[in-house]
Amino acid sequence: MTETKRDVFDDLVEELANAYIALDGEGIGDDLTNEDKQAYLKDYDAALPDDLPVIPEEVGEYIRWCKSYDGIHSISEALYYATESNREWIYRAKNSDAFARAWLLGVWRVEETGEIVKLEAEK
């Protein structure tokens, strides 16, 4: 799932607006059932945070490689073995926080494209 909490909220607002328009107009709008409400709450809980770390594609590929490589198990090892260009980006102000959050969450937004990348859970 690559839906953020804001996406779920926007969906709910859209549905409520449509129901209101239908009630205000000539037809009768569909009721928002308790099952609908519970489904929105479930979707909201499962959705990704809105403030995902934003990192360059190259750094994201490095995290993906580290997480799949059997020899790198910790963030300190990842920092130690990072290429010079990755290290330069990571150690710039605020970037180390974004790197750490991406590492821990296993999900981030690609700086160049806005795409959300989510690592698969270990099996």
The list of the chain residues with pLDDT below 50 reads 123
Domain residue limits, the chain: 5-46, 54-118
Q: How many helices and strands in the chain, by DSSP H and E?
A: 6, 3
The pLDDT of residue 1 is 63
- The residues near 62 (Cβ < 8 Å, ≥ 6 apart) are 78, 82, 83, 86
The 10s digit of each residue's pLDDT in 42-67 is 888 888 888 999 999 999 999 999 99
The pLDDT of residue 123 is 42
